[in-house]
């Protein structure tokens, strides 16, 4: 692509580094921004730069938060004896939208994937075990994607936590194999949390 301006080219290059954005889409977005008021563009760039500098990860569950402790962990209405283990913040948002879960979360920050070079130590598994050692947790729900990586991670976690004397369950996989949690509709996801099944029954 030949650009008439270096500034334009820089902006297009930055946008096209985003997932799913090619150079043409990037150009369309940049030209759109250029047509906005200076105030709007400033608000946009401020939101982007604050994203990295100001956002925190909850020191309990590692969900993205504005404070040291996220709103879910800080709430007295949430049942701290049930932890729902998820891959990332998108899953927390999806499950919260179902209004079917009153416990708290643990965000792993990914799934075990040898193909992508992601091992157990790259995830917040030790932090989860640390929470369990405090002895206040009675149930763990493993709400991970129905993919090979999800299953591998569930099995690994199960081996690590089975001696803690907890109820361990997985969400009912009405979800098609290969399905990611965030794409499941709220009713299905909500139901699959309510009708969660003990994990042991799954290993046959």
**Which residues are near Zn ion by CB under 5 A?**
58, 60-61, 63, 70, 73
Q: How far is the CB of 92 from Zn ion (least distance, A)?
A: 9
Q: How far is the CB of 170 from Zn ion (least distance, A)?
A: 22
User: Nearer to Zn ion by C-beta: 73 or 140?
Assistant: 73
List the structure tokens of 147. Answer: 């993919």
User: Nearer to Zn ion by C-beta: 70 or 95?
Assistant: 70
Q: How far is the CB of 106 from Zn ion (least distance, A)?
A: 9
Task: Name the helix (H) or strand (E) containing 65.
Answer: strand 64-65
List the structure tokens of 193. Answer: 């949390």
User: Nearer to Zn ion by C-beta: 28 or 78?
Assistant: 78
Can you state the percent helix, strand and coil of the chain, rounding each to 5? 50, 15, 35
Burial class (CB in 10 A: 0-12, 13-18, 19+), 52: exposed
User: Nearer to Zn ion by C-beta: 23 or 68?
Assistant: 68
Q: How far is the CB of 72 from Zn ion (least distance, A)?
A: 5
Within 10 angstroms of residue 179's Cβ, the number of other Cβ atoms is 16
């Amino acid at each position: 692509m030949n650009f008439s301006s270096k500034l334009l080219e820089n902006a297009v290059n930055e946008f096209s580094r985003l997932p799913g954005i090619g150079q043409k889409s990037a150009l369309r977005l940049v030209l759109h921004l250029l047509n906005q008021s200076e105030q709007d563009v400033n608000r946009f760039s401020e939101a982007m730069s604050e994203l990295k500098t100001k956002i925190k990860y909850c020191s309990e569950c590692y969900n993205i938060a504005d404070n040291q402790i996220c709103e879910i962990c800080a709430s007295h209405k949430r049942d701290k004896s049930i932890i729902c283990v998820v891959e990332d913040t998108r899953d927390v948002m999806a499950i919260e939208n179902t209004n079917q879960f009153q416990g708290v979360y643990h965000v792993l920050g990914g799934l075990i994937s040898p193909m992508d070079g992601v091992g157990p130590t790259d995830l917040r598994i030790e932090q989860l075990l640390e929470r369990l050692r405090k002895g206040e947790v009675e149930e763990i729900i493993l709400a991970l994607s129905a993919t090979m990586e999800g299953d591998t991670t569930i099995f690994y976690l199960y081996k690590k936590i089975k001696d803690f004397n907890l109820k361990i369950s997985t969400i009912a996989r009405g979800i098609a194999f290969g399905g990611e949690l965030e794409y499941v509709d709220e009713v299905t996801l909500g139901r699959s949390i309510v009708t969660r099944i003990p994990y042991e029954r799954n290993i046959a």
